[in-house]
Structure 1
């Protein structure tokens, strides 16, 4: 067992999941602040793979593999996460107003499934505080930073658009890209915003707000959707994203389903309501990605997330149509060497393939099916 495996089994697994997260994240942040230690961490966990470089959303990235929103909600540890080898970091979800989130406990592990259940409820410092924090690093960050924005729980649904616009106005200047999150299951009524008739005015308002806030450049705008959408609703969101001039779609968020879990039913019941992430989400997230690519092709940048654990998983998402891929739960179970392993194995898969670059491989499986 790896040193991290021993630490996880002997210490972290015995702690409340959220407390363990704070402890581990605190160590990551500390490593980034100690003079010289960040370079040592990067050398150990983030060796360069120039062959994995990609261009997406008008941005140059050292590779396609990033950290999904949820790990760093308040942009407090971007430097440390970059030192661990993530090619980009998506912070948030950030809401217009600060909020404490749902009552504790609200984060649970299902180790037999390599999964997590969370009902965090968008606990964060609010967009004004996060914007101020990001402003202090703008221009000297060594990694692409996306900002995921959501709805403040206390805001009535009739004021949802204004709430998202407030966050956009504060955060757009400091974001390399923005993601509109309408798919978390932990804010009442949020997923209703995925309906095309409600999503259209929201996305138009956010796009306009971003353009007003940053007139000198176009801030890429994406929407993050749930894996629990019916196929016809996935198609509707895809069509709307193209119509609205979005830059991409993040597929997918966590699921409310609990089908096919290996964990003891009592453990699943004890975890309760919330979004399930990790390995059990893999197949459905991949199916949504494939459907999106079949619908939009290369007109949008697709970001694959959900059940991504290995370099093979990343490669599979690329072949299915993802230009970028994100993970989160795999980080909890694999530890700090995770990104190194993912990049190594992805580079091997690319070298063994007929594709000269990752860009050549994007959507290759779909193209084969069309040719057949």
Structure 2
């Protein structure tokens, strides 16, 4: 249905009034209710996705960044967003560690940290959902404020520090999810360590034991820049020891003994570091089933240096990370001879960005930061553009594209 000018003007007035009201609210509960009314009112005109970008997203961005995050999470949790009506083209279907995905687009870890909104995220059209990062014991993470928008750069800086409700709370939600007869989604669990821990390696082993039976894949996250000493676990000796313990824990599972284990890497690794990591994951005892490339970066390249917010400490995500993550995907694809599946993440905001990462060597792609700026309709847009590119460039299926242009993205010698 196309809105006439009077309806459009009235919707605009309502959105502006709601935006001003939201900006004055102090209680997160009131913010949630107000935003839910705003979303419900505007989405009365089904599939008017431009209204999200024009009214809803700017209104939500009047709030502090972390409040907006919680608001979006609650909207997904209570399934406020209208369910996607996009029918995934058959050329987006792909194999995923023994499962079939309708499409290769997933939501990255960090959005739904505690597995509260998996159903709502599936409604948006994601092919798979990754929850977490989850730590063994509940922890609040770093002090607030800890999330910052760089609007001009279409980027986010965060220093959450693995805020998590802990293993048991997330486990109970995943068990409930699995008990639903109509649920058949692919859900991964991103594992981390507690800030105050006597044994970081034991934290990851515990994560494998707890979530191995209920997850479709597990992610060993040693690449966040927001937990002191975490990235040191990417060094050759420590990573070897960690992955040996993790793989040993997997063999002892009573259920789902073959749950895939993926390793999430930092974009700030050197080529030498990457070669060391490949030598580790090629060993039988420390092998992984896949890689996630990349996490957030501490670099501040490719951003507006005059923006004071850019000086905030934390991991940078979004458009400024796009080129680096794509380059690193290509490097890891070549270094591993294309034998280890890669999930590409970093700066994906269109089907063209997704295609770029896939031809660089990613088999699957994750999205997060762009949703902050574009809203839930972005997922369908990415899939439609990606499907069109696959066909127009002469491929039958997304799997045919993987790594076809990896060498193009490698640094020039």
Normalised by the size of structure 2, how large is the TM-score?
A: 0.83
| Matches for 1:291-330 after TM superposition, within 5 Å | 291-330=331-370
What CA RMSD, in Å, does the superposition of the two structures yield over aligned residues?
1.9
Distance 2:95 2:385 in 1: 20
Greater mean alpha carbon deviation, residues 191-200 or residues 10-19: 10-19
Give the total of aligned pairs. Answer: 358
Q: How big is each residue's C-alpha offset from its partner over 1:247-283, in whole Å with a ceiling of 9 and x where there is no partner? A: 01100000001122126332323xx100000000011
Work out which of the residue numbers 4, 12, 15 in structure 1 matches 2:63. 15
Distance 1:215 1:28 in 2: 30
1:368 shift after superposition: 8.2
SS in 2 for 1:14: coil
Q: 1:8 to 1:231 in 2, by over 3 A?
A: farther
1:25 shift after superposition: 1.7
**Retained in 1: the 8 A contact 2:148–2:158?**
yes
**Retained in 2: the 8 A contact 1:110–1:263?**
no
Q: How big is each residue's C-alpha offset from its partner over 1:279-326, in whole Å with a ceiling of 9 and x where there is no partner? A: 000111111111001111232111111111110111111111110111
2:402 corresponding residue in structure 1? 362
SS in 1 for 2:130: strand
Distance 1:196 1:182 in 2: 12
SS in 1 for 2:109: coil
1:8 shift after superposition: 4.9
Q: How big is each residue's C-alpha offset from its partner over 1:210-268, in whole Å with a ceiling of 9 and x where there is no partner? A: 23224454000010010001111012112212222210110000000112212633232
Does residue 174 in structure 1 map to residue 222 in structure 2? no
Q: 1:171 to 1:262 in 2, by over 3 A?
A: same
Work out which of the residue numbers 18, 24, 27 in structure 1 matches 2:72. 24
Distance 2:90 2:174 in 1: 28
What 5-or-longer segments of structure 2 have no aligned partner? 1-48
Work out which of the residue numbers 216, 225, 250 in structure 1 matches 2:292. 250
Distance 1:51 1:120 in 2: 37
**Retained in 1: the 8 A contact 2:147–2:160?**
yes
1:24 shift after superposition: 1.8
1:220 corresponding residue in structure 2? 260
Distance 2:186 2:308 in 1: 41
What 5-or-longer segments of structure 1 have no aligned partner? 33-37
**Retained in 1: the 8 A contact 2:212–2:255?**
no
SS in 1 for 2:205: helix
| Matches for 1:49-88 after TM superposition, within 5 Å | 49-88=89-128
Higher relative contact order (CA closer than 8 Å, sequence separation 6+): 1
**Retained in 2: the 8 A contact 1:49–1:347?**
yes
Q: How big is each residue's C-alpha offset from its partner over 1:88-139, in whole Å with a ceiling of 9 and x where there is no partner? A: 0100000111100111111110000000000001001101211111111125
Work out which of the residue numbers 148, 152, 156 in structure 2 matches 1:112. 152
Work out which of the residue numbers 382, 397, 405 in structure 2 matches 1:342. 382
Work out which of the residue numbers 185, 205, 220 in structure 2 matches 1:143. 185
Distance 1:91 1:9 in 2: 23
Distance 1:73 1:209 in 2: 23
Q: 1:214 to 1:4 in 2, by over 3 A?
A: farther
Distance 2:380 2:334 in 1: 31
SS in 2 for 1:116: strand
1:188 shift after superposition: 0.4
1:4 shift after superposition: 1.6
